[in-house]
Amino acid sequence: MGPAGQQTVRVPQSTPADQPTDVVNPLHGASGRTRTTPEPELLTHREFDDGYDYDDPDSQYDEPVLGDDEARRLRRKKIWKRVRRVSYVFVALMLIGPLVAFFVAYQIVDVPNPERLADQLDKTVEIKYANGDNFATVAPKGRRTLVKAADIPVQVRRAVYAAEDATFETNEGFDITSIMRAVWNNLTGGGGGGSTITQQYVKKATGNEDKTLTRKALELVTAYKLSNTTDKEDIIAGYLNTIYFGKGAYGIVAAAKAYYDKPLDQITDIEAATLAGVIQQPGRAGGDPEWVEQRWNYVMNKLVENKWMDPAKRASATFPPMADETAANPGMTADKQFIWAQAKRELENAGISEEEINRNGYKVELTIDPAAQEAAKEASEAVMKGQPENLRKALVAVDPNTGRIVAYYGFNEAKNGIDFARSWQNPGSSFKPFDLVALLHKGKGLGETFDGTSGRKFGGITINNSEGNDDCGERCSVAKAMELSINTVFADIAYNETGLKAVATAAIEAGIPQNVGQKGMPLEQNPDLNISIGGGKYVARPIDMAGAYATFAANGTKRTPHIVAKVTNPNNGDELIFDGDESLGKPQPAFSKTDPALNAKIARNVTESLIPVVNSTRGGALKCIEGRQCAGKTGTHGCADTAKTNKSDNCAAWMVGYTPQISAAVWVGSDDNSALRNKQNKVIFGSGLPGDIWKKFMDLYLKGKEKKNFPKYVPIGLSPDQAVTQTRNSDENKNNNQSSSSTPSSTPSSSSNNSQSGEPSSPPKSTKTNTGIFPTGRVDPPGQGGGGGGGDNDDFGQPTG
């Protein structure tokens, strides 16, 4: 009995064997016992109490029915559950995989050794003409001169940092910010790499420059390991001892000698900026002084930005003149060096650096025909012999059927550091065929007539012809305007008929680069009336003009002019490394990609307009040898600075012409925009010295070769004959309706009425009101071009355009 008379109920004690093995009470108590806390369900148990007694066989159970929305939610929940689990695995692999790979690579990669690299001398490079004859041999210059870190002047190191890797002394061998920026630039169509100096050193030292992610990853690991195991001073010393600087200079000591003929310890900070600048593309250093100066300006600005140079010193600094260009390859004559420099530029653009060529001992086959090259040299030197010292010349000849440059002569004894075959100059009237292409695109042809009188206004701008060619009249056909080079007709076509952008498009279609001039101005960007006569800011190079006219010669088939035929590796069974004919000479329709017949007709109509320029009695001095069919256009450009020159003076003169077999462009000018006068002190026109050089070259090149004719002429729009008839009928009707006191309009004069050719007996008087007739002026590379945008001068002694 318990307290207060209550009876005590005793519960039998369990034996140890009866004790539960779990700390959790069983789900169901024994019969007559108090129900205890239920045991948690296993994973296989249902997660909800559905009221069904699974121990009762009589219990009825129906599966719950889910609604459509609830079923969709359940499916989405299961899908996202799987997605989350897969994502976790993927992220884990992304994080762990690279870390493991990085660790493994770190253990096995070797860091470069500059002494060992110096022993791996570059191999001999053989350069061949197109016919297999030897052009030149570039031999290794012996062991590179190594310099200790302590012997590299601080101004040299800072210039290199500014140019290549401003954070070199603090980064871990790679710069993640630069890498991400480079990735972004490449994804958005830009350029620029994200490599540090350490990474570049690894790439150059290993010789592995494959454009693969595997190579880039190993490079990064090696750079990190190198940065952790080697002092920064030793890394920069190894880098500067290893890399190529152009001009045949390997290592910083050789670079100081090649560029400034100085020992390294005498290089100034201003000179160091040049050496650092060319590291980016050393192959361009030889033969491209404009680019070298651009890079110098970039490095100088970066030095100021990083507080390594006083802004005042930067403002007063001028580009330091470099040593003689011929020192780069002493085994080549200067004219050959320009050819080799152009070849290296092409290969650099194709991803084959000069360093790679030298390291592997590649064999380079050029497109240059030795006979054509000799003809170019002979014609240029013979005609220019005894002419005033300020005159310069250039000639480039292209095979229209292949795009191969068969002759390339930009050498001038007085300026042997400048390749004038690549210099930007105002093309003058030789740009007028592109006006015609734009007109032909509109279905209008050589028989269309325009007012060819002088003193016409276009958008408030007065355009003049020159004295002696105002006789083209108020109804001047396009054909006659091309023959007489009438400025007002082509300004009218561009301004009123086709639009200025259409002329720019036509020039690009033919082969003129989209970006012209030193500053890379887009040809189609805000064009002004200068484009119609090749003045103002519109410039071209002899290599461009020869290529564009080759498109006309090839009946509308465009090929990129190129000077490299192929590159092979003789150490690997003459493995083909680069095929210039396939990569650059591949044919493509120029003027219509969808209508081959129209494409050919446009080109042939241009040719028809250019045949009289060469073959008429006015231009008879330019007729090709053996009665061959030739077409072409001369061009001159007036001088801008009339304070130093006469209004009738020219500062650029051209002759560009072709047969079905060859297209050649000749330019004569100066390097300081001075007036062009021949040895008789007469004004130089396109038909003068440039025409003489062109004709002599064409005669030498074509002599003995098969005669080929242009295809049949099928006119677009009105033909020249229809224009004459139309003009005659129109004038007759006009005269019949006028009173006897009226003055009849002018009719086109025949070519026989203007039978001058070559140089006039005395400089003609110009009716130009000024040389800057267009408001925009021109953007000239320093020391190049004609300037001013003044009217072009007639190429047969009459200053008309």
What positions carry a catalytic annotation? 164, 429
What is the rounded distance in angstroms from the CA atom of residue 757 to the CA atom of residue 267? 55
What is the rounded distance in angstroms from the CA atom of residue 535 to the CA atom of residue 528? 10
Residue 353, Cβ density class (10 Å: 0-12 exposed, 13-18 middle, ≥19 buried): middle
SS3 72: helix
Which is nearest to 652 in space by CA: 680, 681, 673, 679? 673
User: How many other β-carbons are positioned within 10 Å of the β-carbon of residue 721?
Assistant: 13
Residue with tokens 């992220």: 91
CB 222 within 8 A of CB 111: yes
CB 429 within 8 A of CB 657: no
User: How many other β-carbons are positioned within 10 Å of the β-carbon of residue 102?
Assistant: 14
Which is nearest to 447 in space by CA: 720, 679, 178, 671? 720
Give Cβ neighbours of residue 423 (< 8 Å, ≥ 6 apart): 394, 410, 541, 542, 667, 781, 784
State which amino acid sits at residue 401. N
What's the alpha-carbon Rg for the chain, to the nearest Å? 39
C-alpha distance across the termini of the chain, in Å: 138
CB 614 within 8 A of CB 581: no
SS3 650: strand
What is the rounded distance in angstroms from the CA atom of residue 439 to the CA atom of residue 9? 120
What is the rounded distance in angstroms from the CA atom of residue 97 to the CA atom of residue 120? 36
DSSP state of 683: B
CB 632 within 8 A of CB 622: yes
State which amino acid sits at residue 284. R
